Structure 1
């Protein structure tokens, strides 16, 4: 009953936001911009993410969340290339952009000095914790990659039944994104997390992982912790299933249990891997449509309204894009409500005040978005899911990893 009342309160709060109309800046158009990989590496995440941003921005204009004011958010494909991202960013600035939605870890790291120089608030699709140190203008929407990766690792340490430390391997994207959580993961192990990191594998574009899987098995690896996007994970899972190496129960001796963080999982993975995804454990701060609740109707109704297919509609990457757009729109709405002119500077102030009774709650996430001048990681909690009978199911309640501050 308490959970139902909580989500009813969220729905009412969202409805109240939609009904708001203020005279401040009436008739104005606020310029935003999104640069991301719609094609190229990681585009299996970037493509639905872009649709989530596009649809929520259309929704904000169609339902007059900002009264008579409008949002213009052009979306450009940067093909996962930092140089293209930088060109897009500079073009958006020339158009009067006051809020930037960014994507890749490497591009955010490279552009962080630019963000600080022009003092523009940025919400990235990357949840690399180092970005918050790189620029005070970068606001992560949810728990960092490190929190999610260490969170799934903590589950291994707590539930492994064999003798000694569980032997794990890291299967990561060959990029700054893929490597992002490794330092914090290794620090957690050094601080007492009872795991043995046997090998770090930066995957290529291999269509067959047989040799890799056999090598890991020969080293006694029982758990593979993934940090990449869905397609290479699907290939890995399919190969493991073909070789009979996938654990049928968590931590099954002589087999491998596969796990991952954020962009590795979700309904997109099941669509690619099919039955090979069974038993895959995954952490994120987003809700999934296979766990029914108010967020399910909200996400699916949005997708239906704007003509999206079922795969996009059920993707957590679509929800991730919507929430990034939500944060930007909510910052604009609150700034207008306070009677202030909407600028880069006032939006930055508004975001830093988004805490306590001013926290922002999105139906897409497992906890509230909170920011301050000392904390720019939005949702603090992560949720563990596992694929059961072809769908992701929640394991326990949202939590904060013990080995992450």
Structure 2
């Protein structure tokens, strides 16, 4: 990796001291508000298929519906973020999430799941660009990359703890246990709502526009080669990564590896432990170096993780459990590199008055991958094509590596994290 002449020093104490007050508020409650998400994330596909008796293929399509709705509202959501402010959009999205989780808690049929997932999709579609824009509006320079990294660690801490609790609590023979974790997810949304309506009520997350500020649309953004390549990379990251963590990974682990829900919950805990324990180590290693090189490290780690998971289907039960848990550990290490690089590149390329739309483009790519991911994994695993599933994941990562190399050629040193912004 290339370095700048002077790389900024990274420490948790200095980072916290440098944060403005709104940034501290945002970070202080992240783990708590994501705990509810962790309770449901590893077990949603199991809930739909094994508890409510809906086919695996339909379950994958239902999960993809979240991303379809999110993709539909991401564009308008990004524009509204720039016009009315990130805080207002976050309030709308979080309220939808609360209602959607409540519906899912009592869903017993496909139409009810559709309603719940539409509400969740609305939240994901408007909240991603709004949240990143809100962060970028209160944190700038090298501190911004550090913020995205620390925020990611705290998000995973909450999700991981939720996964452990959920794995110990839920039982496919007791539908009420799944109802309770979705209700807990709904209640956890009261934390960000209280934060946005209270301590952060004066932070709008909207840049002031002057009369001569040029109008920039989504097509204008996508005509920029670095934006286009980063969008493609984000799509692949989701299709191969996050689009499978909620669907392909637990389905493969249950059907091919035949592991228990407790093992899956423990795997999510290991994922969290790796991210939380190694976040600052990786952050120190990549600060001042090319972010694209970190993304290439991520590709190598993810290739290794999928090859490890493939062993879950060819050995005894103990080997399957080890493979499932190890997959999530190695995958989590790769996630750190991705979550440090992609949000930072996105926001360093964007001007303040188009930050909502720039993050919406990135969110749209994420949602696109999340649409295709569950559909592909659901189809392949329902038709006993687990080998093809693994090959597809590894092949996609090879394509991603080539795209990252091209992206690097189009980024300025500052956008790529080589010099202080």
Q: Shorter-chain TM-score: which interval?
A: under 0.3
Q: What is the TM-score normalised by the length of structure 2?
A: 0.26
